[in-house]
Chain A
Amino acid sequence: MASPYLENFVVDENELFSIGEAAAQIKAILKMLGIPSDVIRRASIVAYEAEMNLVIHGGGGRMELEVRPERVKISALDAGPGIPDIEKAMMEGFSTASEKIREMGFGAGMGLPNIKRNSDSLELLSEVGKGTTLRAEILVKQEREG
């Protein structure tokens, strides 16, 4: 893996029952690249929660995967309504999800805290009326042999 591995995914807002297709592809790519399983697990959770937010809050958008030997970077970008108060959005339990989403068992306001817990660095930029960009990095701690 000399140069970074890059991939883009389009996430459609009308795909309520296929949320996770981009995340599943990200997971498969990380497996294919031989990334350690604990990193794959954390990256999968980050990608899935980010994809979920793209669909249920952001009106759809796209995701980016960038893999380097030392880290995995997952981004989710949308041109949706944006987040008025990011600090509040990061709090466990805060959610503006619809009743429909809650009936599906999602929308309990655990996503952003879960993304934060599973990543080594998290950047969340948002402008009301313009959109939201989330970037999360997960470090690959190289296992030393001998």
Chain B
Amino acid sequence: MKLSEIRSLLQADVLVGEEALDTTEVEKGYASDLMSDVLAFASPAVLLLTGLTHVQIFRTAQMLDIPSIVFVRGKTPGEDLLQLARGAKMPILATCMSMFEASGRLYGAGLAACNIPRR
């Protein structure tokens, strides 16, 4: 799914990477405020939805080759994160929707879920 479609489904603001929305695609979505779980369960080419906004969120995403982050619940990251994202050309979106609504809309539109291994 293209980020441009995600932007309209979530009525999101684009904080970084407006120009890359049509060329960046994600296959799956993973929504969590627990980065420990993101590191354990997010597959490649996944869109991260989260309500945490500190810089370590960006570093986690970058380590996992996550192409883009959507901040939910009207949370917006600080300039420090945005600057890192600009440098890395990682599009950053922000929506006022809850994590539940944002995930539901994307899932309903066909964005797949990550497979959580049975443990």
Interface residues of A (CB under 8 A from B): 16-20, 23-24, 27, 41, 44-45, 48-49, 92, 104-111, 113-114, 117
User: B63's contact among A18, A48, A108, A111, by CB below 8 Å, is which?
Assistant: A48
B59–A104 CB distance below 8 A: no
User: A106's contact among B35, B63, B119, by CB below 8 Å, is which?
Assistant: B35
Q: Does B52 contact A (CB under 8 A)?
A: yes
- B50: chain A residues within 8 A (beta carbon): 105
In angstroms, Cα B38 to Cα A49, docked, is 12
User: B34's contact among A20, A24, A108, A113, by CB below 8 Å, is which?
Assistant: A108
A45–B64 CB distance below 8 A: yes
In angstroms, Cα B55 to Cα A20, docked, is 11
Q: CB-defined interface of B53-64 with A at 8 Å, one 1/0 digit per residue?
A: 011110110111
In angstroms, Cα B62 to Cα A27, docked, is 10
- Main DSSP-derived SS at the B contact region: helix
- Main DSSP-derived SS at the A contact region: helix
Interface residues of B (CB under 8 A from A): 32-40, 44, 50, 52, 54-57, 59-60, 62-65, 119
A-B contact pairs, 21 of them (CB 8 A): A17-B56, A18-B59, A19-B59, A20-B59, A20-B60, A24-B63, A27-B63, A41-B65, A48-B39, A48-B59, A49-B39, A92-B119, A104-B52, A104-B56, A105-B32, A105-B34, A105-B52, A105-B57, A106-B36, A108-B37, A109-B36
A44–B64 CB distance below 8 A: yes
A106–B56 CB distance below 8 A: yes
CB-nearest residue of chain A to B57: A105
B36–A107 CB distance below 8 A: yes
- B64: chain A residues within 8 A (beta carbon): 41, 44-45
Nearest-CB distance from B78 to chain A (Å)?
Answer: 11
CB-nearest residue of chain B to A92: B119
B56–A108 CB distance below 8 A: no
- The list of the 3 closest CB pairs from A to B, nearest first, reads A108-B36, A105-B35, A20-B59
